[in-house]
Amino acid sequence: MQTPEGLTDLLKLKQIDAFNYEGQNYHTVWKRVYGGQVLAQSLHAAYKTISEDRTVHSLHGYFILSGDLEIPITYSVENLRDGGSFSTRRVTAYQNEKAIFVLSASFQIAQKGLEQHNDFPTQANPEDLISDTDLLKNTSTVSDRVKLHLLARNPFAFEFRPEKDYSYRISPQENRNVWFKLKESVSLSQQQQHEFLAYVVDYDLLIMSIISHFQEEFDQPLQVASLDHAMWFHRPFDVNQWLLFSMHSPNASGARCLGQGSIFDRQGNLVASVVQEGLARPNQSE
């Protein structure tokens, strides 16, 4: 999705009844529904059934089938619980009466408690860095085949600025730090902030799991797809301002890869955490 306004429109759902909604698709060049879209739209559907005094603090989703770009997605929300402090919802996304994605999400009223978080992992300034798109266009260490695949993810409503370019071999033990924010500022509610962040974090996390192989066997085509996704929202944030996505990949095995990420604001506060597992195996069609 190219602009914040376009992303806002994409995440708006047509209401069928109190617990069923319908969403349209962003037509990606890779011919499948973008995982961040169905994740964010599912969160939006859940939010439609939540009282205004509660915001999401965690979500867990499973990608079951690839989405068809030409078919609208129906979102069915189940009210599992409304308690004194927490509400829980389950959302199932359907195409052709088949489930393609399932989300569980928990919402909480604002409460105070203990405070702590991990240290801010960088001293870099995003203003001094180059966009991900320009780095890819200029690098000679990534094969043309892989470069075309990565560039196909753009244009995008968000701008990304990695701290290290693709000529630097990032080992699996290292973190990859990428700054990001909306390309154009737009007024957003707290709910929309959560939905925009859910949309964008699917962009790069699996790439972290295979980036250390860019200069080795990664020249072989890979089939990469999201399998499941989990997020925790810790503190308020603003996607109009620079946020740091610090990622690492603790494991790759069994044709699957695991990515973990921490998202910090410019002041060094940990605002969200993400874990994602994906498919990563040689493309049998090549």
Q: Which of 41, 193, 212, 226 is catalytic?
A: 226
Q: How many CB atoms lie within 10 A of CB 153?
A: 18
Q: Which of 202, 212, 246, 262 is catalytic?
A: 202
Q: Rg of the Cα trace of the chain?
A: 19
Q: Among this protein's residues, is 202 annotated catalytic?
A: yes
Q: Which residues pair with 60 in a beta bridge?
A: 104, 230
Q: Which of 87, 106, 260, 276 is catalytic?
A: 276
Closest CA to 198 of 188, 208, 209: 188
Q: Up-side HSE of residue 261: CA atoms within 13 Å toward CB?
A: 34
The residues carrying an active-site annotation are 202, 226, 276
